[in-house]
Structure 1
C-alpha cells in the first residue's frame, strides 16, 4: 500500500433491506424484539453466573464471558441496522464503517477463541477429572478469557487498515447489512487480490484452526464418554457438552460459509442471510440453548422468580 493510494469516497451507503421497501416497518419491529431478547437473555446469563454460588465453576465463568461477548458482538451491527430500517438515509461515514468492521473482526475472532477455550474446559473436565481443579484454576481461566478477547486485536486492526487503505473511487453502495470485507473488496477500484488473500488467510487462522481444536477435543470427549460404565454418567456428560456443540455448529456453520466460500458463488442475498445468522441468530439462541439443556441454569433462573414476587 502506498500513501498516495487514498480513498475518494467519504461515506458508504449500506443498502441492507432497501430492496424490501414494504417490509421496513415489520423488519424494524422484528429486529428490535430480537435485539431486546439478546440483551435480556444474555444479560440474565451473566447475572446468574456471577451471583449464584452453585454456578461458580470454570464452565459457567466461561459462559458468562461468552454471553457478554454475544451482547458486544450483536451491538456492533444491530443498532446500526435498526437505524437504517427506521430512516431512509442509509449512509455511514468512512471512519464509522472502518470502526464497525474492525470491532466485528475483533469480536468474531474472540468468539472463535472463546468457543475453543470452552471446548478445552469440557475436555479437561471429562477426560482428566482428577486434575480438573488443578488445571482449570481461577488464574488460568482468567488468563484464557483475556487471551481470547485480546489475541485478535492487533491482527484485526492491521487487517482493517489494509482493507480501508484500498482505493475506493467508484460506487459507494455496500450491498450488505453492515461493513464487511467481501462486499467492500468488490467496491475497490484497484487490485485488491493481495488484501483478499490476507482476509482469507486470517479467516483460515481464526476459523479453521480453532474449529479443528474443538473437533479434536470432542473426539477425545466422546471416546471417553463411551467408555463410561453407567448410562446415567454418559447422559450427564453428553448433556454438559451438547449445548456448546449446538452453539459451535450455528456460529461456525454460517461464519465459515461467509468467509471461506468463494465470493463469486455467493449472492448478495445469501451473504446478508449468513451475516444475520452469525451476528444475530446465534446470540439470540445462546441463552435458550444453555438454559433449556442445563438443569443448573434452569434451577438458578427459577430462584429469581420468588424474589421478584416478594419485591
Structure 2
C-alpha cells in the first residue's frame, strides 16, 4: 500500500504522515513547497499545487493506491483528472461539518466544501469524506488576548460546538485510506459538546488563571466576526453569525465516528488544552492578569 498525502504541511496532513510512517506504510508527502516539510526519515515528498491542471502531476501518482485530498477551494479538476489516469483506487477528502448545518445553503464556506465533495463523488474513484466539527485548535484565536489581559471577547459565548483534536481527524483519515471497503461520509467530532464559554472555563481551569469573558451579541458580535474573518467573502459574516446563534437553541451532539473507525475514543478538549497550555499562559514580560 502506498499513500499520497496532500496538504502535508497542515495540522491534519502532518499527523497523517506521522501515523502512516509509524505503520510502515509507504507515504508520499505533497506540498507546494516540499523542501519546507519536516518529514520522518524514509518519507518521500513531492510538489503539488492543487490549483494547477492535470499536466503538472506527471509521475506524482506513480505506484499510489490511496490519496488524502486537502480541500482546495479553487477546485480539484486537474488533480482528479490526473488521478483518474493513474493507479489511484481511493480518495479521502477533508471537508467540513458546515455542509450539514441548517444554514449550509447560504454559507459560502459550506457551499465551497460541498462543491469539492461533488467533484470527488463524480470522479469515478472510490472515496470517503471526512466532515470534522470545529477544530480544538480554533481556540488559539483567544490566546493573544488571554495572554495580554486575561480576557476574551467572544461573539455569542453560549454558541456550541463539539471541538475535535486534529490527531483524531488524522487517525480517521488513516483508517479510511487503508480500509478500502468503507465508502461514506463521516462527521468527526470530539467527545463533548461545549459552549465557547465552556471552552474558556476549561482553559482557565487548566492554565490556572482567571479569564474574563465578554459575551458579544448583535452589532458587537458582527464587528467581532468581521475583525476575525474580514468582509471580502460575500455572505460569510452573516452565515457565521447565523450559525453561532442557531447552536444556542439547537446545540450539536457528539458523533461516535472516531471510535467506530479507529477503535479509540476521541481526545477531549481538556486534553488538547493540556498540550497547548503554554499558548494561553501570560507572557512574563507582559503578565496581564496573573493570580
Report the TM range for the smaller structure's normalisation: under 0.3
Name whichever structure is richer in helix by fraction.
1
TM-score calculated relative to the size of structure 2: 0.25
User: Whose radius of gyration is greater, 1 or 2?
Assistant: 1
Structure possessing the higher relative contact order (Cα contacts under 8 Å, 6 or more residues apart): 1
